[in-house]
Amino acid sequence: MAVLPILEVPDPRLKVKAAPVAEIDAQLRKLAEDMLETMYQAPGIGLAATQVGAMKRVCVVDVADKKNGEEPRPMVLVNPDITWRSEDAESAEEGCLSLPSHYADVIRPRSVRVRYRDLEGAEQEVAADGLLARCLQHEIDHLDGVLFIDRISALKRSMILRKIAKTRRARA
């Protein structure tokens, strides 16, 4: 396994829509394995292939509360598709490994159903609410070239992008 570099805003690849996966092969399984290792090391609870420069519709998530002793529950979703969203929504703070140290409240449906293929090629469906629903929506957004800052007000987005630019200038 390998830890992959995570793309950060303003990398234009983060705005590209990922291509569907045609075949689940050893190369895709290796990518998923590396993505899980990268996500755990970051640390994060989700990672889309586009965030590591692979323009494929694959994401990994694990929302287990490891601090409270929960066993890891990694999920690999190939070609995920949200098939249902609840009408009731909620606002919660989100962050992103591609925008380190930046957070904002994002309104999303409280519950979703997601259809996907697992690494064996079998079609699966998961009904999710709470943190898992939020994480799945966030990662599927990445696969569509959408960042969480695209779902907040223009003013808040502008503030975050200015802070990122200022930090980049300070590093240079």
Stretch 134-159: mean pLDDT? 97
* All structural domains of the chain: 12-171 (3.90.45.10)
- Catalytic residue from among 87, 90, 125, 139: 139
Q: Is residue 1's pLDDT more than 90?
A: no
pLDDT digits 0-9 by tens, 27-86 = 999 999 999 999 999 999 999 999 999 999 999 999 998 888 899 999 999 999 999 999
Give pLDDT, residue 147.
Answer: 98
Q: Is 94 a catalytic residue?
A: no
In this structure, are strands 111-117 and 123-129 parallel, antiparallel, or unpaired? antiparallel
Three-state helix/strand/coil letters over 10-42: CCHHHHCCCECCCCCCHHHHHHHHHHHHHHHHC
Output the six-digit token pair for 73.
């529950």
Give pLDDT, residue 58.
Answer: 98
Q: Is 98 helix (H, G, I), strand (E, B) or coil?
A: coil
| Band of residue 171 on the pLDDT scale cut at 50, 70, 90 | confident
Stretch 100-120: mean pLDDT? 97
